[in-house]
Amino acid sequence: MNRYTFDEIRVGQKESFEAKITEEMLETFGIITGDINPLHTDEGYAREHGYRSRVAYGMLTAAFMSTLAGVYIPGERSLIKETHVKFAKPVFPGDMITVQGEVTEKNDTFKMIVLKVTIKNGNDEKVLRGSMDIMVRE
Amino acid sequence: MNRYTFDEIRVGQKESFEAKITEEMLETFGIITGDINPLHTDEGYAREHGYRSRVAYGMLTAAFMSTLAGVYIPGERSLIKETHVKFAKPVFPGDMITVQGEVTEKNDTFKMIVLKVTIKNGNDEKVLRGSMDIMVRE
């Protein structure tokens, strides 16, 4: 886990990590949230509606933004204030995703950073684009 | 699960549900995402930093927006295109949250609705404010 202070972070800094989206994650996410939508739970339904398999919950893919902030940048001192997420393409179980954050702004008054977030699948396609406003604790 | 079509949805329509945030959810969310930030995993650390217990992951609270769209409004025909989330107050294990969505816009051209999202804790305090742009599938 990184422990960057506000002063140590610079605009342009990037951090990234990979994660594999698994069937089990979909099941667990469904149990936690109660989201029983068949696009995520029913293989046949998903195929009938034009997908190659059931689709990962968008908010499951977005959940990895928690790790990006809380472990990578800034890491320990992270307090997420705000997030903005656009879902660009579906993610499927089995997909390896790469989660990347780049610091685009630093606000000295509020000790906040803005992180531009990009999540790509194994074919280098953007599946999620977003941003996070994060306070860096003292 | 609701199955509203685009035409059936009206501006001003509201849906809500409750969920209890549990210790187990925090642990599972941490395992799925790999977010090992001590604010969420270490009771002593959280207390030293001014919280009454470890804090729920913000993105865990936000995960219930998946259910709001995919089960409640519009339900089955939901395709989330975009989300915007502001974290207003910390959520703790044991908190009962109420997740509410209200339709504020309908876009006939794109068959999209905009949902204003409010999540409150058991003391009727807003812990999350946000919005979702959702396509309602045919």
Q: What percent of chain B has pLDDT over 90?
A: 100
SS3 B110: coil
Q: Which amino acid is at A128?
A: L
B11 vs A136: CA distance, rounded Å:
39
Q: How far is B77 from chain A (nearest CA, A)?
A: 9
Pick the CATH number of B14-22+56-136 from 3.40.50.150, 3.40.50.300, 3.10.129.10, 1.25.40.340: 3.10.129.10
A137 vs B83: CA distance, rounded Å:
25
DSSP letter at B34 equals: -
Nearest Cα residue in chain A from B49: A137
Residue A77 region, left (φ>0) first, then alpha (ψ -120 to 50), else beta? alpha
Query: pLDDT means per 10 residues in chain B (138 residues)?
Result: 98 98 98 98 97 98 98 98 98 98 98 98 98 97
Provide the CATH topology of domain A14-21+57-136. Answer: Thiol Ester Dehydrase; Chain A (3.10.129)
Q: How far is B74 from chain A (nearest CA, A)?
A: 11
- Which residues from B are below 8 Å from A73, CB to CB? none
Whether A83 and B29 lie within 8 Å, measured CB to CB: no
Beta bridge partners of A103: A115
B27 vs B34: CA distance, rounded Å:
10
Phi, psi for residue B47 in degrees, rounded to 5:
-65, -45
The string of DSSP codes covering A88-124 is: -S---TT-EEEEEEEEEEEETTTTEEEEEEEEE-TTS
| Model pLDDT, residue A38 | 98
Of the candidates B32, B59, B80, the beta carbon closest to that of A65 is on B59
Whether B71 and A40 lie within 8 Å, measured CB to CB: no
Is the whole-model pTM more than 0.90?
Answer: yes
pLDDT in tens, A85-125: 999 999 999 999 999 999 999 999 999 999 999 999 999 99
B127 vs B91: CA distance, rounded Å:
7
ipTM given for this complex: 0.97
Whether B19 and A34 lie within 8 Å, measured CB to CB: yes
- Which residues from A are below 8 Å from B40, CB to CB? 70
Q: Are the C-beta atoms of residues A51 and A39 closer than 8 Å to each other?
A: yes
Handedness of CA A100, A59, B90, B32 (dihedral sign): negative
Q: Which residues contact A41 (CB under 8 A, 6 or more apart)?
A: A26, A30, A54
Whether A32 and B137 lie within 8 Å, measured CB to CB: no
SS3 A102: strand
